[in-house]
Amino acid sequence: GAVVSQHPSRVICKSGTSVKIECRSLDFQATTMFWYRQFPKKSLMLMATSNEGSKATYEQGVEKDKFLINHASLTLSTLTVTSAHPEDSSFYICSVRYQETQYFGPGTRLLVL
Amino acid sequence: TQLLEQSPQFLSIQEGENLTVYCNSSSVFSSLQWYRQEPGEGPVLLVTVVTGGEVKKLKRLTFQFGDARKDSSLHITAAQPGDTGLYLCAGAPITGNQFYFGTGTSLTVIP
């Protein structure tokens, strides 16, 4: 399998500030990473597909200027929530695809006050 | 759009009971995965099924992939409190990198 890490695990910020979340593939090079958002006891909602060296592909309804994704290397993708508001509070999870399976990071809990 | 529908959405049972969770779609998948997720953590892979009709067992958990590779089921025998969590199925399409997740089943096993 693949090992994926995320940092930070939890973050609390004030409304209007920006927050950066890192996703790292620790044991293999990932040309593609995925960013999800999840509400309590609900399934994962795909936000965007992060592509190394090129622009991310965003799902319908996800604001690309609000959720900035950068995939600068084969092991690191970042998600920046810009000008965060309380409605952005959620659980954000990244994943990588290795062969026929997706492997997930431990998630980042964002709370915007 | 949720391509995969799971049922039931919520399930609360007593310890020792059996249960089955279903994951259905009208689309064909090259493979299907089942994950369990606990609050505040990322989903953890339980199994990947690839062949239509395939059955895999993981201790008290039995997974089946439909013959047409459009659906799957997860059966838990003699449920234990440690089985409590959110169960998610996910399908890998024939083409493309993206996985499609099911709607999720929240299971609570009462001691």
The Cα–Cα gap between B69 and A30 comes to 27
Closest by CA position to B28, among listed B72, B80, B69? B69
Q: Are strands A10-13 and A108-112 parallel, antiparallel or unpaired?
A: parallel
Residues in chain A within 8 Å Cβ distance of B42 = 4, 6, 93, 95, 104-107
**A33, β-bridge pairs:** A50, A96
A56: amino acid identity, one letter: A
Contact B86 A41 (CB under 8 A): yes
DSSP B4: B
pLDDT tens for residues B48-101?
999 999 999 999 999 999 999 999 999 999 999 999 999 999 998 888 778 889
pLDDT given for residue A41 in this prediction:
82
Q: Which residue has the higher pLDDT, B95 or B14?
A: B14
Interface test with B, best of A9, A100, A111 (most B CBs within 10 A): A100
Q: Chain B residue closest to A91 (CA)?
A: B40
The Cα–Cα gap between A36 and B18 comes to 31
| Mean pLDDT value of segment B24-39 | 93
| Mean pLDDT value of segment B33-53 | 94
